[in-house]
């Protein structure tokens, strides 16, 4: 990981839109809590310990001082929010489902930036947003990343292309290790077997693709499954629902 850390001071409460290209060139952190919400497309949020997949209609909360790097997928668009890090009690990066109330609050500010002109109105919006954020349901839309530099590099390559076709023997060879040694070290780093971790990465990638409108069949074959039915079976085992039911429950809120 790079040590090029940029601490960017921000106003205590600030709302901003983002669009199309949001690819941070290096890891950085902020003095305040940052929240990014994806309207269209999707985003990956990289920290030193995890890679988060943020599909549309979800947001990612980044605590003050947390080193991170954001990358938009499919020209992601959405909005961002900074909240005073000293007043908000968030200690870990968290993915959350959004809500119609939070959307209304943020969009009212984007439509009328002058609403935040006074400290009183700024504080009122901040309190409302904080209360709504505290009610939102966390989502485990991440995969853990090994701390070892070699294993970390391989993990990020797998995340870029987590096809079932490239299995343990392939990645062990890339790492210059025996399959047994690679499997043992990887498991020690992330707390699960490489195969279980890889399947987790595949399903996080699948959610990213499905949420953007890709059909089940194309996602199934792209991620290395022999058939859509085998993918649906695996998805249900991992997520508790079929892809269709999962998407309808996670992306059905009214804007």
The predicted-structure confidence for 135-155, as pLDDT tens digits, reads as follows 888 888 999 999 999 999 999
Q: Are residues 123 and 46 in the same domain?
A: yes
Q: Please report, for the domain that includes residue 185, its CATH number.
A: 1.10.10.60
201-to-66, 156, 164, 193, 242 alpha-carbon distances in Å: 23, 10, 10, 12, 17
The verdict on pTM exceeding 0.85 is no
- Domain span at 130: 7-139
Q: Using pLDDT thresholds of 50, 70 and 90, give the confidence band for residue 2.
A: very low
The answer to the question of residue 255 being in a domain is no
The answer to the question of residue 1 being in a domain is no
Q: What residues have CB less than 8 Å from 3, skipping those under 6 apart?
A: none
The answer to the question of residue 43 being in a domain is yes
Q: Are residues 76 and 131 in the same domain?
A: yes
Residues listed for the chain: 255
pLDDT score of 8 more than 60: no
The predicted-structure confidence for 171-197, as pLDDT tens digits, reads as follows 999 899 999 999 999 999 999 999 999
**Count of alpha carbons within 13 Å of 99, Cβ hemisphere only?**
15
Q: What angle do CA 85, 81, 100 make, to 5 degrees?
A: 120
Under DSSP, is residue 224 helix (H, G, I), strand (E, B) or coil?
coil
The predicted-structure confidence for 48-101, as pLDDT tens digits, reads as follows 899 999 988 889 999 989 999 988 777 788 898 888 766 566 788 999 988 888
What is the count of structural domains for the chain? Answer: 2
Q: Are residues 38 and 115 in the same domain?
A: yes
What pLDDT is recorded for position 86?
Answer: 63
Under DSSP, is residue 18 helix (H, G, I), strand (E, B) or coil?
strand
The answer to the question of residue 97 being in a domain is yes
Q: Are residues 131 and 154 in the same domain?
A: no
């Amino acid at each position: 990981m790079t040590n090029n850390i940029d601490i960017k001071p921000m106003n205590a409460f600030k709302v901003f839109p983002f669009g199309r290209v949001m690819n941070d060139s290096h890891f950085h952190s902020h003095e305040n809590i940052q929240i990014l919400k994806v309207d269209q497309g999707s985003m990956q949020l990289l920290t030193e310990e995890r890679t988060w997949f943020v599909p549309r209609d979800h947001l990612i909360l980044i605590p003050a001082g947390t080193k991170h790097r954001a990358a938009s997928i499919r020209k992601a668009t959405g909005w961002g929010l900074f909240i005073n890090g000293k007043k908000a009690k968030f200690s870990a990066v968290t993915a959350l489902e959004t809500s119609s109330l939070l959307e209304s609050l943020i969009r009212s500010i984007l439509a009328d930036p002058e609403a935040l002109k006074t400290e009183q109105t700024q504080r009122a919006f901040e309190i409302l947003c904080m209360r709504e954020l505290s009610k939102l349901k966390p989502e485990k839309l991440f995969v853990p990343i090994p701390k070892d530099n070699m294993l970390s590099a391989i993990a990020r390559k797998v995340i870029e292309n987590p096809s079932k076709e490239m299995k343990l023997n392939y990645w062990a060879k890339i790492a210059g290790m025996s399959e047994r040694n690679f499997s043992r070290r990887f498991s020690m780093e992330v707390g699960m077997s490489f195969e279980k971790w890889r399947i987790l990465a595949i399903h996080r990638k699948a959610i990213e693709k499905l949420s953007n409108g890709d059909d089940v069949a194309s996602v199934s074959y792209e991620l290395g499954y022999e058939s859509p039915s085998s993918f649906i079976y695996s998805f249900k085992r991992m997520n508790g629902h079929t892809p269709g039911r999962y998407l309808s429950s996670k992306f059905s809120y009214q804007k």
